[in-house]
Amino acid sequence: ETGVTQTPRHLVMGMTNKKSLKCEQHLGHNAMYWYKQSAKKPLELMFVYNFKEQTENNSVPSRFSPECPNSSHLFLHLHTLQPEDSALYLCASSQDFEGSTEAFFGQGTRLTVV
Amino acid sequence: DQQVKQNSPSLSVQEGRISILNCDYTNSMFDYFLWYKKYPAEGPTFLISISSIKDKNEDGRFTVFLNKSAKHLSLHIVPSQPGDSAVYFCAASDSWGKLQFGAGTQVVVTP
């Protein structure tokens, strides 16, 4: 139990679908992150939220839309995705957005776009 | 531009022997380094870290070494155990807090 929960664990969606990934943490952390892990590639940081405010968008296409309604929840809304968007999407949280704090990861959502 | 590099995609080591994983970085602003371990179908879990003011940090079977002049860090696991078979990610952070990850090294510990 890492304290960071992601749902769903697996998702298959068509290119015209709209779906959302959910992340929840009960660690009292103030920073939350979305990462993308594609096969044989480094983890790619997508978005950063610090105290519910988006502080970083790492040149992510607009078909990915994050939402952070409070410091415990983070969503990633998906629409009109492409097959190359198939990957493992990981949510993480940390105490705050500083260099010397470890990030705790969820188990990820395995997304397949067909 | 990949600022954290793990040049060995895989490593096979015999049980009981030492596993040495290497990581190189290019950004001199990185001041905190972490290793994460990842099993299939799970998110990465934090393993060990080191601040740039140190050159060694030890936690049980795991030791991380940092060579700032060479921009190189390594993770030593000794003795290696079957449960250590996993993907290991090196990560680095600057004062802005953004973690940069390497591509990972798949470790297989054989009996």
* B6-37 tens-digit pLDDT: 999 999 999 999 999 999 999 998 989 999 99
**Do B34 and A102 make contact, defined as CB atoms within 8 angstroms?**
yes
Residue in A110, A112, A98, A106 with CA at minimum distance from that of residue A48: A98
Tell whether the model's pLDDT for residue A59 goes beyond 90.
no
Residue A67 CA, chain-centre distance (Å), reads 10
What whole-number percentage of chain A has pLDDT above 70?
93
* pLDDT tens digit sequence for B61-90: 999 999 999 999 999 999 999 999 999 999
- A40: distance to nearest CA of chain B, Å? 6
Cβ distance B91 to B2 under 8 Å? no
Indicate yes or no: CB of A99 within 8 angstroms of CB of B94.
Answer: yes
Alpha helix (H) residue ranges in A2-102: none
In the prediction, which pLDDT does A25 show? 95
User: In A, what residues contact B, Cβ < 8 A?
Assistant: 2, 4, 6, 31, 40-43, 45, 48, 56, 90, 92, 94, 96-108, 110
Q: Do B104 and A4 touch (CB under 8 A)?
A: no
Average pLDDT in chain A? 88
Chain A residues with CB-CB distance to B101 below 8 A: 42-43
pLDDT band (50, 70, 90) for residue B40:
confident
Residue B91: band (very low, low, confident or very high) from pLDDT cuts 50, 70, 90:
very high
Residue pLDDT, tens place only, A10-25? 999 999 899 999 999 9
Question: How many Cβ atoms are within 10 Å of A45's Cβ, its own excluded?
Answer: 19
CA A111 to CA A37: how far, in whole Å? Answer: 10
Q: Do B46 and A92 touch (CB under 8 A)?
A: no
Q: Which residue has the higher pLDDT, B106 or A94?
A: B106
Answer yes or no: do B93 and A97 touch at CB < 8 A.
no
Looking at beta carbons, which residues of chain A come within 8 Å of B94? 99
Reported as type and span, the H/E element at residue B107 is strand B105-110
Q: Is A56 helix (H, G, I), strand (E, B) or coil?
A: strand
For chain B, the straight-line distance linking the first and the last C-alpha, in angstroms and rounded, comes to: 38
Residue A47: exposure state from Cβ atoms within 10 A (0-12, 13-18, ≥19): buried
Residues on chain B touching A43 (C-beta within 8 angstroms): 44, 89, 91, 101
Would the pLDDT of A39 be above 70? yes
Say which residue, B53 or A2, is predicted with more confidence: B53
As a whole number, mean pLDDT of residues A40-64 equals 84
Residue A64 CA to residue A47 CA, distance in Å, equals 10
Q: Is the pLDDT of residue A78 over 60?
A: yes
